Amino acid sequence: MPQKMLYWIGRYTLELFTRVLLDMNVLYHEQLPAGPKIIAPNHPTTVDPFIITTVLPEQVHILVTESAFKAPLFGDYLRKSGHVPVVVGRGSEAFEAGKRLIEQGHVVAIFPEGALSPEGRVARPHTGVTRLALGTGAPVIPVGIALDPTRIRMVDTGIKTANGSTEIARVYAGGPYYITMGVPMRISGDINERKLVASQTQRIMRHIVRLSKMSEYRMQGAELPKEAVETTIAGCIQIPFEIPS
């Protein structure tokens, strides 16, 4: 079966899942630009990469941890539908694959934390999103996800990790799932300037956290505090926070 056809069959199946089991709420700050772009969300659960595909009109190629490709049947689907495995210690291969996809005009999703977010917080971001943006000129779309943490279930996948233990999936067992899509961020400069890459990586992560806070406020039906409504250049609200070092 052609890759694109397989992708859309899976995508429509996922959309059915979200309609039946999730109380989905998606807010776009503005219409997303056509053409190649980099989708950069936070990562509270294992299912986030696949739910994200349901809110974009184009095919999305996700950079996914290698362990997901080891799952029976599901791993074959990921491989054959155009997603990219991220192998520990071989991140440059995934980076180059993502770069080629963007240069070919595709949409790529990559989670800056590189792993599931610690509960109620974010992990220190990796630089892949920034380097992809600098290397291709594609805009970064920061995305903030919020959900009900009490509905998360830990599931042993049976997939072996490098240290011999089994992979534990963080599955969302239905309930509110709120997404805020930020305004596209343009990043320019020398990809080899480490200080620039580091500062822009932090900047992207700050916007992602602000957007996740917006999603959280919406989910709770709460009004944003007056001191939190100042709009920044990326269309996000100003909410103080610290990224773990």
Read off the pLDDT of residues 40-53 as tens digits, 9 standing for 90 and up: 999 999 889 889 99
Domain-embedded: residue 17? yes
Among residues 154, 174, 177, 156, the alpha carbon closest in space to that of 165 is found at 156
Find the radius of gyration of the CA atoms of the chain: 17
Domain-embedded: residue 239? no
Which one is predicted more confidently, 119 or 215?
Answer: 215
Domain-embedded: residue 242? no
Read off the pLDDT of residues 128-182 as tens digits, 9 standing for 90 and up: 999 999 999 999 999 999 999 999 999 887 777 666 678 788 889 899 999 999 9
Are the C-beta atoms of 139 and 132 separated by less than 8 Å?
A: no
Among residues 216, 69, 54, 236, the alpha carbon closest in space to that of 142 is found at 236
Domain-embedded: residue 69? yes
Read off the pLDDT of residues 74-86 as tens digits, 9 standing for 90 and up: 778 888 888 998 8
Kindly report the CATH number assigned to the domain that includes residue 61.
3.40.1130.10
Predicted local confidence at residue 71, as pLDDT: 74
Domain-embedded: residue 134? yes
Domain that includes residue 212, residue range? 3-228
Domain-embedded: residue 241? no
Q: What is the pTM of this model?
A: 0.87
Predicted local confidence at residue 76, as pLDDT: 81
Domain-embedded: residue 235? no
Span 25-45, average pLDDT: 94
Least confident among 32-46, 82-96, 103-117, 229-243: 229-243
Q: Name the DSSP letter for residue 32.
A: P
Domain-embedded: residue 23? yes
Which one is predicted more confidently, 194 or 118?
Answer: 194
Write a three-state SS string for 79-125: HHCCCEEECCCCHHHHHHHHHHHHHCCCEEECCCCCCCCCCCCCCCC
Give percent helix, percent strand, percent coil of the chain, each to the nearest 5.
40, 25, 40
What is the distance between the alpha carbons of residues 11 and 3, in angstroms, rounded to a whole number? Answer: 12
Domain count, the chain: 1
Predicted local confidence at residue 226, as pLDDT: 54
